[in-house]
A and B are shown apart, each in its own frame.
Chain A
Amino acid sequence: MAGLRLEGLRKSFGANEILKGVDLALADGEMLVIVGASGCGKSTLLRLVAGLESPTAGRILIDDQDVTGRDPSARDIAMVFQNYALYPHMSVFDNMAYGLKIRGLPKSEIRAKVDAASSLLGLDALLDRKPRQLSGGQRQRVAMGRAIVRDPKLFLFDEPLSNLDAKLRVQMRGEIRRLQRRLRVTSLYVTHDQVEAMTLGDRLLVMHQGVPVQLATPTEVFERPADTYVAGFIGSPAMNLLPGILGRNGTVVAVEGTEIPLGNRRFARPDGHPVTLGIRPEHVALDPAGTSWPVEVVELLGSEMLVHAGRADGASLTLRLPNGAALSDTVRVSFPAGQLHLFDRATGLRLEAVA
C-alpha cells in the first residue's frame, strides 16, 4: 500500500505537447478519477505512471521512491485495459497466474492467490475457460483478477468499462468501487464518462488540453466548478452558461437587459465587468413573473423531462422538470439566487463572492 506523487510531469510527442505539467499527490488507498474529453492527455498521464511511456520532464514517485526511469514491471503496479488485453490462448487461470509465474512464485502460492482472487470476483467456475468463451463482463473481471493477484502498490484503470453495455457498466462500476474500498489499493482511474467519475472517485481530476483544471472531491467539482469548462463538462445535461454583465456594486447580473439578483452575495468586480452566469438545468425555476423563453424541444426521460428553450439571438437554456409539468409554447423562468455560478467571461475562471 502506498501513495503516488507526480511532480511537474510533462510529455511531448515531437512538437506536440500533450501534458503541460501535472503535479499530483494521492494518499494511500485513495481512488483518483482522471476525467476529461478525448485528447486531454488523461490516458498519456496514466501511461506515464505505468511506465509505458517515458516523461519529457518531471518525476513519478510511488511510495516515496522515484520510479521515473524504471521498467513497468519494476514499478509494482497493475493495469486494467479498455479492451481487457487478455492473452487469448491462455485459460482464465493462466491469464491471472502469468505475472506471478514470471516472478517465479511457487506453484502452490500461485494457486492460492489466483483462487482467492477468483472467488472474490466470482470467477471460480470459469478458471478453465479461454477468454473467447467469456462475456464482456466476465473478461473485464478476469482483467481485474489479473491485476489483483499481483497485490500491487497501485492500480491503474484505463477506461475499463467503455466496451461494456450500459447495464453491465453500472454493475461493474459498483463492483470496482466495492473492490477498491475493500482492498484499499491506491488507484488511478481514467474515464471520459462523468457519471463514472462522479460515482467512483474519492477525488476527481478534471483535465483539459493537457492541463489539470480542477482537483477536488466529486461534490466539490459539481457544486463549485473551477471554470466554465468544468461547469460544462461535469453534470448532465450540461450547466446553462449565459453571458452577462455585473452591476449594482456586484450584486446583480444583467442578462439580455434583465437584472438577476445574486441574493446576499457580492462580487468584487467593477460594474460592467463581463461575466458568464451558470445555472444547472434542475435549478432553473418556472416562474410566471420570470423572463420568457420559447420552447424548442421537449425530451421525456421517464420521471422527468428536459426542456430546451432558445431565443432568436442564439441564447439557449435547458430546464430539467418533473414529468407532467404544464408547458406551453414558451416557458417563463427565473434563476434562484442561491443556485447561480459566476465566471469571469475573459478567463473562464470561477468568481467567488466576498464576505
Chain B
Amino acid sequence: MMRSRLVALIPHAVLILAVLLFAFPIWIAIAGSTQDSAAIARGDISLIPDPAGLGVYRDVLVNGSAGAGPVWRALLVSAGMALVIALGKIALSLPSAYAVTFFRFPFRMTAFWLIFLTLMLPVEVRLIPTFQVMSSLDLINSFTGLTIPLVASATATLLFRQTFLTLPDELVEAARMDGAGPLRFLKDIIIPISGANIAALFVILFVYGWNQYLWPLLVATDPKLDTVVIGIVKMIGVDTATEWNKVMATAVLALLPPVAVVLLMQRWFVKGLTEGDK
C-alpha cells in the first residue's frame, strides 16, 4: 500500500518540478514588471508583485519606452503578421496537398518532392536570396515583404497530404458518383473533414509567425513595422539605462496572444480529434 502510494507520488513530483521550472521565469517576468527598474538591474527582484507598479502595462502599451514605439502598435503588427502567415500557409498548403494527393498530372511526384525539399531550406538558410528577391520587388519595409516569404510551407503541405492519404478511395469515388467536381469535393468534403488538422496547424503556425525574429529584423527597418519581439530587443539599450520593468511588462504582453490562441483552439482541435471517425 505504502509502496504503490510512493510509486504514484514520484511522477507527480517530477511533473510539479517541471511545471515550476517552466513557470518560474514567467513568474519572475510578471513580478519584475511591477517593480522598480533600478532594483531589477541590481538583481533585487522580489517574488511578490507590487500592485502599485501595475501602471507600467498601460505605460508601455500607450507610450512605449526609450528606443521603441508604443507596444500596442507592435502587438498589432505581430498579430497581423502571425495571422497572415498562419492563414496564408494553410490557404496555400491545403490546395497544394490536395493537388499532389488526388490528381494525376505530369511530374506530380517531382512537384511533391520539390515541396518536400524546401523543408531542408528554412527562412534562415535562404535569408540572403529571399532578401534579394524582396529588394528587387521593392517590398523592403512593407507588410507584404514582412509576411509573404514566410507563407510557403512544406510542413503543412506534408501534414495535409498525410491526412488526405488516410481517406478511403471510396469516399472520393462516392463523391464522384454524386457528381461533385474537384472544387466541390474540396469545399464540401475535404475542408470540413480536415477541420481538426486545420485548427491544430493554425495554432502551430500562429505561434511560429508570432515568434519570427530574424526575418522581420532584416526586412523591416521602419519602426512602424516593428513586431513585439523586435520591440523587446530594441528596449534593451546598449548605452542607455534599460527600463527592465518595461521590458518584462512587454514580454508578458507578448506572451498573451499565443497563449490565448493555444487555449482557444485547443478546445477546438481536441474536440475534433476525439470525435474523429476517419
Contact = CB atoms under 8 A, between A and B. Distances in A.
A311 B179 CA distance: 59
A78 B193 contact: no
Contacts of A103: 179
B177 A83 contact: no
Contacts of B175: 87, 98
Contacts of B170: 81-85
Contacts of A79: 173-174, 177
Given A98-B188, A103-B179, A85 B174 contact: yes
Given A79-B173, A83-B170, A85-B171, A98 B277 contact: no
Select the residue from B173, B174, B180 with max chain A CB neighbours within 10 A. B174
Contacts of A71: 176
A52 B177 CA distance: 9
A102 B185 CA distance: 11
A77 B170 CA distance: 15
A73 interface: yes
Nearest to A130: B277
Given A83-B170, A85-B171, A102-B184, A52 B176 contact: yes
Interface string B163-198: 000001011011111111000100011001101000
B271 to A, nearest CB: 13
A167 interface: no
Interface in B182-222: 184, 188-189, 192-193, 195
Interface string A287-319: 000000000000000000000000000000000
Contacts of B168: 83, 85
Interface residues of B, number: 21
Interface in A84-128: 84-89, 98-99, 102-103
A99 B178 contact: yes
A132 interface: yes
Contacts of A146: 174, 178
A29 interface: no
Contacts of B177: 50, 72-73, 77-79, 99
Interface residue SS majority, chain B: helix
A132 B179 contact: no
Sorting the interface of chain A by its residue count into under 10, 10 to 19, 20 to 34 or 35 or more gives 20 to 34
A160 B173 CA distance: 15
B277 A88 contact: yes
A72 B174 CA distance: 10
A73 B182 CA distance: 13
Contacts of B180: 73, 98, 102
A132 B174 contact: no
A130 B275 CA distance: 11
A28 to B, nearest CB: 21
A131 interface: yes
Select the residue from B170, B175, B180 with max chain A CB neighbours within 10 A. B170
Contacts of A78: 177
B193 to A, nearest CB: 6
A78 B176 CA distance: 10
Contacts of A87: 171, 174-175, 188-189
B173 A81 contact: yes
B174 A81 contact: yes
A8 to B, nearest CB: 25
Nearest to A52: B173
Contacts of A86: 174
Contacts of A130: 277
A74 B270 CA distance: 40
Contacts of B184: 102
B27 to A, nearest CB: 42
A102 B179 contact: yes
B174 A73 contact: no
A289 to B, nearest CB: 58
B179 A99 contact: yes
Contacts of B277: 88, 130-132
Select the residue from B168, B177, B184, B192 with max chain A CB neighbours within 10 A. B177
A87 B175 CA distance: 9
A59 to B, nearest CB: 20
A62 B200 CA distance: 47
A73 B193 contact: no
B5 interface: no
B278 interface: yes
A98 B173 contact: no
A167 B189 CA distance: 33
Nearest to A84: B170
Nearest to A156: B177
A78 to B, nearest CB: 7
Contacts of B192: 89
A271 B278 CA distance: 64
A132 B180 CA distance: 22
Given A81-B173, A99-B178, 16 more contacts: A72-B176, A73-B177, A73-B178, A73-B180, A77-B177, A83-B170, A85-B168, A85-B174, A86-B174, A87-B175, A88-B277, A88-B278, A98-B178, A98-B180, A99-B177, A146-B178
Considering the complex of A and B, which 3 residue pairs feature the smallest CB-CB distances, nearest first?
A73-B179, A132-B277, A85-B170
24 contacts: A50-B173, A71-B176, A72-B173, A72-B177, A73-B176, A73-B180, A79-B174, A83-B170, A86-B174, A87-B174, A87-B188, A88-B193, A88-B276, A88-B278, A89-B189, A89-B192, A89-B195, A98-B175, A98-B178, A99-B177, A99-B178, A103-B179, A131-B277, A146-B174
Interface of A: 50, 52, 71-73, 77-79, 81-89, 98-99, 102-103, 130-132, 146
Interface of B: 168, 170-171, 173-180, 184, 188-189, 192-193, 195, 275-278
